[in-house]
Every structure is written in structure tokens, then in C-alpha cells.
Chain A
């Protein structure tokens, strides 16, 4: 562990940041920063100097014109994430909000409230437009909020002022239905779980709270920090088969371990190992220790750890699950010791989690470290010392020794003058760069990216303004061999930006940035390379492809002289796209390999599925057509690019020259290989198959009973149709004869659940009931009963039914746990050889509320069929098996107890939580009083 003999010169100040903070588009260019003596060839006569930034780096070029889908989309249509228009829809407001894109930073309103008052502070009234630029500034954080605003803007100063009536108020102009449709869609999406039960006052509160949370998530969703995509690289010297760990499913609550063969385009091998979890997967972290991969998975209230043996093909073993009272904000896996992780919760608690020894609380502090910041986000990671963990909040990083966390700690990074930060700058993502250098650390903020050396705390050894439009929430390190540069990928969520940085040094020489940063393809970039679509399909695709990014992973591949980099990007829609960069020194992909790709696309399992589909010859023809069309489309795209260039006054000849220039050619590889084209086509087809539903907002909202219940759903309880037929037959017969039916009943059996004539809830409306009675000659009696059947009585009955349901609901939500699918449980007994397993081995496979295998998975037959038909119909899993969407399941369960006694409640699975380590709730309760209450996620239990 050498330390550089000399570091780049820099000033060291203390205290709050001095520099005014604002994101600047070009702040990172054109600066060497500092220089230092000591180049590669150290001449005696003339000293050689190296710059901190601007040294030459490796040259990587994109192999394809756009990112390529890796996996076919799985069944289940994706629900688009909330857009600002869904909450705010008034055009004027939207525009105003859009206008301040260039404005700075974190929650000023609350932030400045929490700041200590300073002499230079000015109140809103005092602030005068002619104040100097330094007049209204606070020493910490950003500029004050004390600026005159128009009243309506004042009202919308961030989340706290949002009111629910916004969403419900009427649109100003245009077709009211058009606006209504998408908002209704969202309304039902957000509220379907609790709207039925809550009284109006409570409902308003809930709505407000939900909107606030959604709004703050819209602005910046830090629950995604570090991303939910992990790549488990192949073993050294083994076959080039790695494993991609990613979430999927409609609620992103399925965890997949998919083996990928690394070829020119990575292709899947076999079907993925799949686990169903009881919450949206926020983060997937992985580290390799002693040849085994440990994969940590974080959802809001649960964290789990899996072990994957280095040998590919071995099934991943779940090791342990913990549940937390407060949402967890961080989960990192130790690169030093097997089965060690660190967990942070939003209550400000940091735990060291060892699979063998359990949880150890290292720190509990609801306050931020260096100055006050309202954000409950906390992070923790490992350092060069396996017993020393770093913990971070928005204000900086501290390292603490797990053996004596109270006594031994030091500050690693502070948002302040020490690191030359700007006002309002906040830590977004810290990451341990141990694989590049054991003592290096990466910290990203919304403005800059820092490399720190824990041997020289507080002073960044590297700093660069990254100029990204959204804060970099994801980062990935690809360590370089000695003498080569380390590559760092930065990724943003909402804008899908991807930036490749290179740096070198840290041990013998001081750290320096190498080469210029490089922008990589984003997922949405491939939209223009897809074949032309019908407008509404195009819109759907656009919506899906521009979904915020949710994860980032990458791998370096060295195949003799060929060096390439594969970068995977996950979107919130669950799509995984990849792109390949090739090293410039490496030869371009040899033509034979391309031929292989064209001749044997069918060898890939990716392509096998559609080929085996019973479409016959016709489909093949169609395929060919599509392909040719696609290729011609690509050419068009090149023209498109040129057209964009024509926005410049550059004459066309110059543009030609520009292309011919060989010294610095930047041709984007426009014509991609047929294999890529094929990928797109397969993916498109799969998308259109999974999302058959046309976009809902193009239709006026309508409620149709036909879609609420399918005929098959109603078949069960609708009573024996033979009886009805018999009745009808008899009726016809009697009418023909001109006779009279005196009694309906004389037939053999009268089913109990046949709608009673006088039962108001029996499904007959009053008119038909009356007609029926009149037909039977009992009109008088009917009238009497109608009037005497007191309303109070009916209400009593309704109320009772409601209470019963509520109780049932409450009991059901108790079973919140990390239940996984039956597939995995049955495997568990075979696979978990050692250690504490999630479930006690003696217990038979238990089907809990959410424990049924998903409809699309390979079926493992569950013993549920023994239940009574009505029960089977009502239990949520059977409803799901019938393909009834969740929001309708609830309706159905409310409706159907008319016939039965109410939804059957499966007994609470006691054993499922037996092995779970619950974080002592006493502290969390204490802290939760001071924390803003967070709601449980709506999806899944």
C-alpha cells in the first residue's frame, strides 16, 4: 500500500463552502486543475509535468449505434411511473416548473429552516432585488428562499405546499375526459388499496400524504440509490458465463438470477432462478469473497442475502432475511468477509449485519453529521479495514470502527470548504473503490464527483464537475490492471445519462483523471433505431424506453488483444439493455464472427422461443420483411443525424470533410449488425405480445361489467345453468299454452343461493323484483314487505359485513414478510446445506397469502385445489391465477360474499418469521416519532 510520494498542490480551508453553487453545463471542461512534476520519462534537464486533468486516457468506442435489449420482456404489462403531469396538470404551472430546471439543489425551504441563523440572513420582506450577489446567502447550503414569489408559486414551493385538490380539480380547457382518463388511471392506481375503507377526512389526509411522497419521489427518488442491477462476473479462466441479477415482474418484486454467455452480444443461457419477494426491490448489491458471490437485496422493509457459488449453473442459496421497522436506505456487501453486510435505515441507524452473528448496531443518530439536513437518507459502505465502516448522510462521510464505534471514528468527507464544495452541494452516492485501490473512495454529489483516499481524509485526491443533468445515483467501477486506467461509470436515474470516466494513480503516482469523459448510449436512444411504429405503439414504446433508469452494471472482457466493455442498464420498466464498447487498440470485430451471428441466430435461446411458436411459414416471411425494413430504416437514421447537424451554419462540404477526417474520426457506428437488428425485432414482438392492452388514455373512461368479471369467473357461483334452462323452458311452454305458473318451486331441488325474491342485495333491481312478484301474484305482499323492511336493518347488515371484511384485511396485512415463491421453498430444503436457513426444514411447503407461484412461472402444483370451489374463487391467489388484476380482485371479494360467508382466512404462517431477525423495535419507535411517517409500499405485502 504505497502512498504517492507527492500530491497535487491544493489549498485546504475549513468551514462552510464559499463558492456559489449552481449546476453549470460546462464547468468540467478546459481545466488542468493543478500540475505535478514527474511524468513517465523523468528527464534530468527538463522537469516533466503531469496535469491533474487532461492526461490521455484509453480510447473506447461504442460498437453499436444504440443499446441493445438483453432480455425479452416478461409477461405482465408495465405500469408507467408517475409523471408530473399526473399530479400537476395545469399547463401554466407546468411551464413555470419547467422553467427553473437550472435552479439549484436540495430542499431549500426545509433546509434553510434547519440552518442556524446568521448575521447575513435576510427575511423575505427585506430581500431587495438590488442586493449584491453575496447579500442573501447563507454560509451553509444554498441561497435562501427569501425571494418574492407570485402567490401561486408560493403555494407550490416544493412538496409541503402540495394539496390534494390539485389532482381532483377540473382541468382548465380542452376535452375534460382526456385529462380525466390518465388522472383517473393514476388515482385508481394509487388509491385502490384503501379507498374503500377510509372515511373522508382520513382519506384526505392519506391522499395528501401520498401525494407529498409521490411528489418528493418525483423530484428525487433516493430509494433507488446504487441501483438494482448486479453482475456476477465469470470465474477467472473459466467459461465466459456471468450472472445478471435483476428485479422483474409488474411490481419489480421478483428477483432473477440469469446466466449470460458473453459473446459479441450477451445471450441468455437457461432459464433464470427466480424468487418472489414481498416488496419492490430497490437495490441489489453484490460482492465476491473467497470465490463466492454474496448478493444483498434491499426492499423497503426487508433485506435479504443470497449466496451464489462461483461455479455457474449452481442455484443461488438464500441465506437470511431481516426486516426493519423503518425503511432501509442502504445495503452493501462486504468485499472482505463472507456473509457480512452493512445496513442503514432512515431512522439514522447503521448496522453491521453478519449472517453468522446477526446484527450489530454501530450508530444511531437521527441527526445528520456535519450540519443539519432534513434528508433521512443514510448510507454505509466498507473500507480498506474490514472492521471499519463508513457511514454517510447528505452532509458527508465518517468512518467508524465496528469494534468501538463510539470512540474510534474519523471524518472522511465533509460538504464544506475542505473539499472545495459549492453551496447547496449534497452527497448523493458514496462508493468504496476497493477493487481499484484498497483505500480509495468515490463520492458523487449533484455537481461533482470526488475520489478520496482514506489515508488523507477530507482532502479529495480528485475532483471533477461531472455536468450531468440529474444527480448520479448509480456508479460502477471497473478496475484497470496495473499501468492502466480505472474506469468509473456514472449513471443518473431520471435522465438515463451514462458517463464513462477514467482515472489512474493512487499508489505510486498521485490520482489523475485520464482522457475526457464520454457519454454512452441511454436506453431511450434506441427508440430512433427501431422500425417505424404506429403512433400509439410509438407512444407506448417511448413511454417504456424513457422510463427512469434503475440500475447499472458493467464488465470488462479481455480476450487476448480484444478488450471490450459491456455495460448493462436497467430501467424501471424492468428492461435490461446492454451496450458494448471496444478498446481502440483492439481490432474491430472480425467479419467471420458477424457471419456467425447471421447464420446462427437460432442457436441462441433468445430466439428459440418465437421460432417454436406455432406460426408457421407465414411468420418467417414476415420476419424477413421486417428485417429489410429495419435496415433501410437505419439508413434513414443516419440522415436524421445529419439533419440535426444542419442546425449549424456549417456548410455541407465541411460536414463531408468532417467525416473524412481521419485524425479524429467520430463516426457513430450507424449500421449495426443483423444480430442487433434481430434483437430489436424479437424484443418488439415480445413487447407487443405482453402489452396487448391499447393505451387507456385514448379511450374515454368507461366501466364495463364485462371486463370486471369474465364469463368464466361468473360461471362458478352463477348457479346451475341447467336449472335456469329448465325454468326458461317451462316458462316458454306455459306461455305457449297460455297458462299460469302458480309456483316456481315444485321442481326437484331449490338451490339455497338462488336469489330470494325479496332480498334487495340479491342481484335483482327493484323493478324486476316487483315484476316478478306481480307475475307470481304476490304484489301486495311484496309492497308490504318493501315498506316494512326497514332501512336500518339493511344498514345493520351492511355494516356488519363491512366490519368482517375489515377484520379480515387487518389480519391479512400482518403476514407481511419476505415470503418467496413456492419454487424456491421447495428447492430450499435441498440447497441450503449449512447455516441458518430461512425456513425450518421440517415444515411442509406452506402457501401463504402471496406464496403462490406466479402465473407465468413453470408450474409447481400447489395443493390448493382441495379447497371448496367458492373459497378457491375468493382467495386472492386463485383470483390471480384467473388473471384478474389486483384492483378488481378486491371488488370481486367484496361482491362475492353475498353468496358465501366471507373470504376464508388462511391461518397465519407462524414459522415464516421464526428465523427472521427483527431489528429491536424500541429504538426505531423512538426515532419514528421525530421522523416523518413513511407509508408502507402499496404493492405487495
Chain B
């Protein structure tokens, strides 16, 4: 170490005064300001000639780190481990005010190596993590959390629980905002594990209950877990974020104890609070809850309507469409058509046979009844310039016919109605269908031919009045 110190002094002989020196250390920001654009190493490092082999401490530290990085990126865990043992020396003079200091680097690199190193064991990993926890106060909670994650992924749930309890009781001076967040996460994960314990006890009780035998101690333990879990889970889901698992568990707890109002309130808050991100799952959970509660159709539809507004391509849109199609109200059936058209706009739905059959059914019904053709017309008017190329090209007709006959049937029906019997897609599929002597396709051809005038009315100019 001493030699390193000397060398550094040699390297910067002009900077002698301590104050000046300190200023020099602070200069990364100043140097950063010199770069007017994205960070990049625009000057390749000059090759070090043989007589310049004496590196100062900082440089050798950096060189060592880059060797480690290189080894990690090539999955040479052993090589990286060897370098890391040298890099530990950098802790000796850790004055850096960098974003990530040497102690954090050692934690990160060490963890990564221990994950992949062939000779590492869980015991060693735990040992390493304990050391890392003491290395930096600011990072204690983060390291704890990561340790717990690893234990959980490894299936060591009890150890993880112990670690979480320990971390929860940790106190050190004033907490920063980040530490506060991390502490909330620690508590939430502990709540989650409490929930799993609770559900384990619940299952035991339910099994025993079937035998007509109940254990009071187990039941009390279960309630204890409930209380602990509920307190912690309730806390985290108040904060804006994506808390899918926590919300699910909390709602499950509440539902078990019959607190449906609280559950509803929690789900409403999670779905509709504008401070939270627009998470489709929040709406899905609410919808599922309402469905479990056997709520009237109206509230289900309104829940799904909002989901439709934020994610028109959600898979629940099929359920939504079928629900709306069954409705007696014209407005709702109209909405159903809108929903299914909107869903089929998306590339992910292109080959969804179920969606196409929903659309085909509804379109067919409208065409047969000859009522509400204007609905189709309105939906079609914003799509007629790109749906033919997107859905009804000859290439797709060929491919759909080869891959999924029923899909091509439904699509051909829609194409025949929307684009007329001259449409490439319809022509190809109906010809192939007739060739293959499938009755269904012959009927399809007949149907489309019979209703060909509808096509003219749909695709006509908007002023051409279509009967309401």
C-alpha cells in the first residue's frame, strides 16, 4: 500500500497543498462538463510503453476493474474472482465520491461471481453477503433485500424470513428517502411471506375441517399471520407503484375474513388512483373481484369499459364483446362492435380465430337483420384504407388457408361483407374451400353473393344515407 501512496504523490508533484488536492478530486463533475455530448471515450488510451509500467493506485484500480468487467462479460467467473481478490485492496483508500464506490462494486461483482461460480455454495454466499452488509451503512437494506431475493429464489423461505425480520429491526440514524423505500419493501416482502404462512395454515385447517377436526392453536397462529401480513401489505399498496402480488395477497386475506368493502376500496384505489401507473392488471383484478362478488352486469361492463379505454388490445376484450353482444341495449351492442374492431386493429390479434369469429358473428347478424349497417360503415370508414392490406391480402389468404382453415373462414366472411365478393381474400378462400368440397365454404360463398349490395352501402360515401 505504501508504495502505491508514494507513487501517487510522484504522479502529481504539482498538487501538494491539501486543499488544492481536494479540489482536484472533486473535479469529475467539472470534467464531465467538458463533454458536450453523450459520454464516450473519444480518445483511445495511448499504448503504455514498457518503461511506464509504474501505475499509480487509481490507474491500477481502474485497470483491475476493467479486467474484472472483461472476465465477467465473457463468463470467466474464476478469472474474475482472482481479479476481485486484488481489487479488494481498493477499499483501503476509498475516498471516492463516485456514484458507485469500490465497496458497492465489490458487492455487485462478488455476488455475480458467486451466482455463477461452479464451486460456490449457499453457505459461502451467505457469508459474503453478511460481510457486505457491514461494509456500507447506506447500502445495508439494499444488500439485505438482494440477499433475501436470492434465498427466496433458492427456495430457502425460512432463512429469508429471518433475514427480513433482522433487516426490519435495523435502525441507523436518519433514513434517506431511498432507505425509506427499501424499508417499505422489506416490510412488504415480510408481509408476503406472512401471507404464504397464513395460507399454509389455512390449507391445513381446511383439510382438517373436512375431517371434522379443528385445531385451535393452528387457527390462532393463522390469525396471527394474518394480522402481521395485513399490516405490512396495507402499507406498501398505499404508495404509488406496481404492487400486483401484494394487492392480490391482501385482497385474498380480506376476502377470506369477509371484509369485502375494504377489498373493494383497495382495488378501486389501485385501479383508479391517478398517481398510480395505468396498470391493466389493476382493472383485471377489480373485474375479477366484481365477478366473484356476483355483481350486476352493469358494473362489470363499466369496469371493462375502462380497461378497453386504456388497453384496447387486452385479452379480456373477447369476454367484453360477448357480454355486450348478449345485451339487449342497442348502445351496448354498438359498443361491442367497436370493441372487437379495435382489438383486431392490433398486430397481436391478427391471427386470433376467436376474435375473428366474434366479429364475423356480429357482422353477419347485422347484415341479415339489415339494421344498423351504419355501425359497420362507421367502423369501416376509418379502417378501409389499411385493413385490406393488413388483414385481407392475397399472401395472408394463402397462409391462413394453410395454417388455420377456420380462421380463414371467419376472415373470408368478414372480407366478403366489407370488401365485396371481388375481394382477393374472399375469392381465394372461397375457391379453395369449394375445391376442397367443404360445405361451410360453399354456404359462405352463397351468403356473400346474396348480400353483396351491402358492401356497396358500407363502402359508399358518407352522405349516401344508410338506413338507421
Contact = CB atoms under 8 A, between A and B. Distances in A.
Interface of A: 1-14, 18, 20-27, 29-37, 44-51, 54, 84, 94, 96-110, 129, 133, 136, 142-145, 147-149, 153, 156-160, 216, 218-220, 290-291, 335-338, 384-387, 403, 418, 426, 428, 434, 437-439, 446, 455-459, 467, 469-471, 494-495, 499, 516-519, 546, 645, 647-650, 654, 658, 661, 663-664, 666, 668
Contacts of B30: 147-149
Contact of B118 (A13, A101, A663): A663
B146 interface: yes
Interface in B311-332: 311, 313-315
Contacts of B272: none
Given A25-B105, A516-B72, A30 B28 contact: no
A290 B32 CA distance: 49
A483 to B, nearest CB: 18
Interface stretch (B76-84, B161-169, B368-376, B439-447): B76-84
Contacts of B364: none
9 contacts: A2-B315, A6-B281, A9-B243, A25-B69, A27-B100, A45-B200, A94-B43, A336-B347, A648-B79
A121 to B, nearest CB: 14
Nearest to B44: A546
Contacts of A546: 44
Given A105-B32, A216-B37, A219-B35, 20 more contacts: A1-B313, A25-B65, A26-B65, A31-B108, A33-B149, A45-B200, A48-B155, A51-B150, A54-B150, A129-B26, A153-B34, A384-B348, A386-B386, A439-B313, A455-B280, A457-B278, A494-B42, A650-B82, A664-B75, A664-B77
Contacts of A97: 34, 42-43
Contact of B109 (A29, A34, A290, A338): A29
Given A31-B146, A100-B34, A6 B65 contact: no
Nearest to A217: B37
Contact of A428 (B38, B393, B396): B38
B199 to A, nearest CB: 9
Interface of B: 22-23, 26-46, 65-70, 72-79, 82-83, 86, 97-100, 105, 107-112, 115-119, 146, 149-150, 152-153, 155, 157, 177, 181, 185, 188, 196, 200, 203, 239-246, 248, 275-281, 284, 311, 313-315, 345-349, 352, 382, 386, 389-390, 393, 395-396
A702 to B, nearest CB: 29
A663 B117 CA distance: 9
**Which of B22, B31, B39, B177 counts the most A-chain CB atoms under 10 A from its CB?**
B39
A109 B33 CA distance: 7
A7 B109 CA distance: 27
Contact of B389 (A157, A337, A438, A518): A337
Contacts of A654: 82
A23 B155 contact: no
**Which of B83, B119, B240, B245 counts the most A-chain CB atoms under 10 A from its CB?**
B245
A647 B67 contact: yes
A739 B249 CA distance: 122
- Could you tell me the dominant secondary structure of chain B's interface residues? helix
A29 B311 contact: no
Contacts of B242: 7-10, 12, 456, 459
Contacts of B155: 46, 48
Contacts of A218: 42
Contact of A7 (B68, B79, B118, B281): B281
B277 A458 contact: yes
Contacts of A143: 29, 32-33
Given A21-B99, A516-B116, A108 B31 contact: no
**Which of A49, A142, A457, A459 counts the most B-chain CB atoms under 10 A from its CB?**
A49
Contact of B240 (A13, A47, A219, A668): A13
B36 A107 contact: yes
Q: Which 7 A-B pairs have the closest CB atoms?
A: A158-B36, A100-B31, A103-B32, A30-B111, A663-B118, A147-B30, A1-B348
A36 B112 contact: no
B43 A219 contact: no
A3 B105 CA distance: 36
A110 B33 CA distance: 10
Contacts of B279: 7, 456, 459
A240 B69 CA distance: 37
Contacts of B79: 645, 648, 658, 666
A160 B109 contact: no
Contacts of A94: 43
- Could you tell me the dominant secondary structure of chain A's interface residues? loop
A18 B152 CA distance: 30
Contacts of A160: 36
Contacts of A10: 241-242
Contact of A51 (B76, B153, B395): B153
Contact of A9 (B41, B240, B246): B246
Nearest to A159: B36
A11 B38 contact: no
Nearest to B394: A290
A3 B280 contact: yes
Contacts of B38: 105-106, 219-220, 426, 428, 446, 471
Given A129-B26, A386-B347, A291 B395 contact: yes
Nearest to B71: A666
A3 B314 contact: yes
Nearest to A471: B38
Contact of A219 (B42, B149, B153): B42
Contacts of B100: 22, 24, 26-27
Given A12-B242, A385-B345, A658-B78, A26 B37 contact: no
A666 B75 contact: yes
B205 to A, nearest CB: 15
A470 B40 contact: yes
Given A1-B315, A455-B314, A518-B74, A648 B36 contact: no
B280 A219 contact: no
A220 B37 contact: yes
B110 A24 contact: no
A903 to B, nearest CB: 41
A459 B346 CA distance: 21
A372 B436 CA distance: 63
Given A20-B99, A109-B33, A516-B116, A1 B149 contact: no
A3 B31 contact: no
Contacts of B349: 1
A142 B32 contact: yes
A860 B369 CA distance: 66
A96 B26 CA distance: 15
B32 to A, nearest CB: 3
B240 A12 contact: yes
Given A84-B42, A97-B34, A438-B348, A30 B109 contact: yes
Contacts of B382: 403
Contacts of B112: 29-30, 516
B315 A22 contact: no
Contacts of A519: 70, 73-74
Nearest to B244: A6
Contact of A664 (B118, B239, B386): B118
A142 B29 CA distance: 9
A13 B149 CA distance: 23
A13 B180 CA distance: 14
Given A147-B30, A519-B74, A46 B157 contact: yes
A527 to B, nearest CB: 13
Contacts of A338: 389, 393
Contacts of B275: 12, 14
Given A218-B42, A386-B390, A105 B35 contact: yes
Given A9-B245, A129-B26, A384-B313, A32 B43 contact: no
B142 to A, nearest CB: 9
Contacts of A499: 73
A32 B149 contact: yes
Nearest to B276: A12
